[in-house]
Structure 1
Amino acid sequence: MENENVLKFGLGIKIWCVISILGSILSSLTNFIYGNYSVGVACIATVIFYVWLLLSKKRMAFYLIVFVAVARLIIDLIVLKTPMAFLGLGNCLITYAFLYKYWKQMK
């Protein structure tokens, strides 16, 4: 018998997490090639936290994704002086939109 209290994510959030993981991997490779190591490390952290979100289904993983996105925003604005960093916050908003219906069930 399967435990009925186990939270199962729908296909939408799973696909979005995979897209975010692939995008972060590509971004980390690009940043390492161009010598932006701090942003590359932030992208690797994002990959780790998205995988953790998919496996654990915990709010803490989402909070860490947001934390890394804000840290990356600050790094991009101060060091790289690029406004493109705001796109990372959009990623968090889309992730939250997918997670919204599961939010009360998440620990």
Structure 2
Amino acid sequence: MTQGILALVTSTGCASASALQSLTDAMHIPHLYVQRNTEGSPRTACQLNPSPDGERYTLAARPPVRLSDVMLTLVGELRWQKFIVFYDSDYGKSLIATKKILLLGTK
């Protein structure tokens, strides 16, 4: 991790997303925010705050449920050895629990 944070991918609630957006905007870090309900279906869009300098580093998306499989494939294909998963809901916990064996296999 000598290069620092290259990008941030999160799937949190609206309040956490807003806080992370402020951080990523201030540090000029690309941020992909995946909006989900606890059932795994897309939720209504969260209102994100505009940056003071007008630059936006956050992209909010509401993809289908299969996104977790896509993220795991990406981690495996790029052979990432370190990554952090931010979550603040049961959806995030269930994602971690169901994919834990696959995540451990990428070390």
TM-score, normalising length from structure 2?
0.33
Q: Which has the larger radius of gyration?
A: 1
Query: Normalized per residue, which structure has more helix?
Result: 1
